[in-house]
Amino acid sequence: MEEIKKCMRQAKTILSQNVGVMDVSGLIIAATDPALEGTVDSSVRAVMLSDDAFSGTAGRTFMKIAIGEQIKYIIYIDGVEPEVRVYLELLAEWIKSAIKERGTDAERELFTKNVLLENELPGDIPLKARGFKIDYTVPRFVMVIRTAREDGNEALEALQNFYSDSKVADVMAMDEKTMIVVMNADVENQDEYIDNASHAVLDCLNSESITAFVGVGSVVPYFQNISKSYRDAMQSLKIGSVFEKKQYVTRYDKLGLGRIIYQLPPTLCQMFIDEVFPNGAYETLDEDTLTTIWSFFANNLNGSETSRELFVHRNTLVYRLDKVQKNTGLNLRSFEDAVLFKIGSMVGTYLEYTESGKKDNLMR
């Protein structure tokens, strides 16, 4: 429907007469005069009964448009002069090719989805890509965008409008809350480009009051490899949801320690936790103590800065750090113990995540 409306919008700039398209029930679905959209033209019955392709009533000329064997639309123009039939024929061809193009777009989207999900034979991909006019050798990366289920449709519409040029990016929905953007990265400064693109997506959705998280995959050299970038993007989203809860955009090339910990088997993680925090020592630390520890780390183990930041006396900080040492055996003022605590807590977070069954919750 949108492509027919687009044709009408463009026709308005070319023709002086009013033109419109209705379905076989007479409902005007697109017109150069938008006020007529949604209204019903009662002449439709007479037009449909006529055997001719053209018919005319009350100062209007009508033409039936068949898609395949079936009449799907009726196009009309104000006027009965002979030349208006030529206009109608031209408009009909225009609309048919727009509809055909939409069909091709749908096939192209399906093909891209199949490549992303590795449902295409590798040998077929370059040939099919050429058929869909997809430049096979352009470097690309995939962004996976996760929104709440109720925002899925709006998010897809916003993104499809944001990236309307398929030479820049292809946008598609994987399910009702997951959108995919396959983006060309044929630029000099890829790092900055990816950063800007991912944050632009986030700002676009946030501007429409849609909460979203973006996972960014690695850049791949050929269209065939976008499935790898898709896997990377999904993994970034998952790892981000475990270790980077404050981040809305997680890039596969910037996952840090989380990338390593996420690959560890849970049994190994449990052994490490038992070693670093014996007898559930981590669980003995209350919220205030944990806040103190993260602030102490954020201030590079500087006690004065930490106590200032937390508005606590330096002695209180010393007391809290001593308590941590008593409970865990780790002296956080020593760099090695601080590193061990940091890794231990991340491993603990990961274990908690694997045990909680939150694996599919990428919204944090």
Partner 1 sequence: MASLSFQHVYKKYDGGVVAVSDFNLEIADKEFVILVGPSGCGKSTTLRMLAGLEDISEGEIYIEDRLINDVLPKDRDIAMVFQNYALYPHMTVRENMAFSLKLRKMPKEEIARRVNEAAKILEIEHLLDRKPKALSGGQRQRVALGRAIVRDPKVFLMDEPLSNLDAKLRVQMRVEITKLHHRLKTTFIYVTHDQTEAMTMGTRIVVMKDGFIQQVDSPTELYDNPVNTFVAGFIGMPPMNFINATINVNGSDVYVSFENINVKLPERYAVAEVMERDGQEVIFGVRPEAITDEATFVSDHSEAAFSADVDVVEMLGAETYLYVTVNGALPLTCRVDPTTSQSRVGEQVDLAIDTNRIHLFDKDTEQSIIS
CB of 118 to partner 1, least distance (A): 32
CB of 267 to partner 1, least distance (A): 22
Alpha helices in 244-359 (DSSP H): 257-262, 266-276, 287-298, 303-310, 314-328, 335-356
Asked whether 206 and 143 are in contact (CB, 8 A), the reply is no
Site string for partner 1, 98-137 (x = CB under 8 A): ----------------------------------------
Establish if 293 lies at the interface with partner 1 (CB under 8 A).
Answer: yes
Asked whether 127 and 55 are in contact (CB, 8 A), the reply is no
For the record, the structure tokens of 184 come out as 């060309």
| Cα–Cα dist 39/28, whole Å | 6
Establish if 309 lies at the interface with partner 1 (CB under 8 A).
Answer: yes
Establish if 18 lies at the interface with partner 1 (CB under 8 A).
Answer: no
Establish if 290 lies at the interface with partner 1 (CB under 8 A).
Answer: yes
Q: Which of residues 230-289 bind partner 1 (CB under 8 A)?
A: 245-246, 285, 287, 289
Angle ∠(64,66,68) on CA atoms, nearest 5: 175
Phi first, then psi: give them for residue 213, nearest 5 degrees. Answer: -125, 140
Site string for partner 1, 152-171 (x = CB under 8 A): --x--xx--xx-xx------
Phi first, then psi: give them for residue 150, nearest 5 degrees. Answer: -70, -15
The correct pick among 16, 42, 70, 207 for binding partner 1 (CB under 8 A) is 207
The correct pick among 39, 104, 119, 206 for binding partner 1 (CB under 8 A) is 206
Establish if 203 lies at the interface with partner 1 (CB under 8 A).
Answer: yes
Nearest to 232 by CA among 244, 248, 220, 246: 220
By DSSP bridging, strand 249-251 and strand 212-216 are parallel
Establish if 316 lies at the interface with partner 1 (CB under 8 A).
Answer: no
Query: Which residue, 137 or 302, has its beta carbon nearer to partner 1?
Result: 302
Establish if 303 lies at the interface with partner 1 (CB under 8 A).
Answer: no
| Cα–Cα dist 246/120, whole Å | 37
Establish if 318 lies at the interface with partner 1 (CB under 8 A).
Answer: no
| Cα–Cα dist 307/299, whole Å | 10
Distances (CA, A) of 359 to 27, 173, 234, 239, 354: 48, 20, 12, 10, 7
Query: Which residue, 55 or 328, has its beta carbon nearer to partner 1?
Result: 328
The correct pick among 123, 311, 315, 357 for binding partner 1 (CB under 8 A) is 311
Q: Can you give the binding site for partner 1, defined by CB under 8 A? A: 34, 154, 157-158, 161-162, 164-165, 196, 199-200, 203-204, 206-211, 245-246, 285, 287, 289-291, 293-295, 298, 304, 308-309, 311, 314, 345, 349, 352
